[in-house]
Structure 1
């Protein structure tokens, strides 16, 4: 997990306004890919709720966006806690009166140490599942009423391409991210009659600037060599797909999983 004093890359914004007027909650948006999602959504015209367990980082991101002339505010949230997820949505409704988009990005990954599955403690297993899978469920459940009230909207769940390769030594993480795909498909069926789309993104290995056990130079070189695109992926490579799925251009796309891993896996 990044420290509060860790240098973060500058937020980049583009001219597209595909999300004009939409209110978007993005979890895990205080750092890493979520932070770039927040900037991309704001640049596309959305009013962004920067939600993160680290409220200080969340407010830092929100303040940068408002300082750049965008609409944003921050909420501290533990996605694995039912009441915290509900409070996040309540704060959004109080501030903006609507929710149009939920991006379930919050997850435990960088803090994990690679280890054989039979060395993963039951408590560590539960914590990863609680945040990476149950957290998605709780946030979706908390926002469902607001999306129905709005008469439509978008849910974008962040899975991982580690599911496709069955990456070893991260069994709890891979299992949770596989569950996100199943949740996405079933929820798309349940919310489709309310004109709510539910889709998943499967990022590959992305350089977020956050140190992690699996991103040693030799491992990164092997990952890049296995991709069709022989370059390190950046958060901006993922953000464009998220903006598209949240936009009206993707209103007929639901229950789908889009792999963004530089061509490591083909579906």
Structure 2
């Protein structure tokens, strides 16, 4: 990362690129629907309960499935639910999911990211094991899972605009380092993939910094780690719900 020149406001600490993963990873950006409107997680959890506690978050790459899963996992923990998170990177990780389900107490929740990595046979085994244990599973997937559908994630240009607006010190750098046209270009070039769009804007921010060396960076902000965060895909929460958004 290139070194940025701080603004002369008497502060001694500054951060550089607002599109860094420390600002865009799951849990950093408020949950929004496909139109960029804030969502009520309690309403989503109510829908999950109506589905029996087990469901799938479905959508294409970069649509916010992992972020939504993390927000819901944290909300469940705040309610006293025993939550275990499992991130699957391949079928070889399927044993982790099966062990998590086998060790989950009745009423517990096992959150599994990238459920499609389980394969048909092992996913059926996992569902049966969860039924025997009396626990629930909440998963993300790029395709149909056979589980009840909680959310069908979607993206849009207005959503990306809303995400960018949430980033640190937006009022300082927007229109100078990053213009509205840059955001639109990122969305189009990345095919609506929010994660890739933020990567694209990270690079654009760096390039503009070299082109305009006197442009100040933003004053430091306090970053409080989300202690329960396990999933590290670098983007916020972006999806279109199956129910009306709430304020």
TM range (shorter): 0.3 to 0.5
Greater gyration radius:
2
Query: Per residue, is there more helix in 1 or in 2?
Result: 1
Taking structure 1 as the reference length, the TM-score comes to 0.31
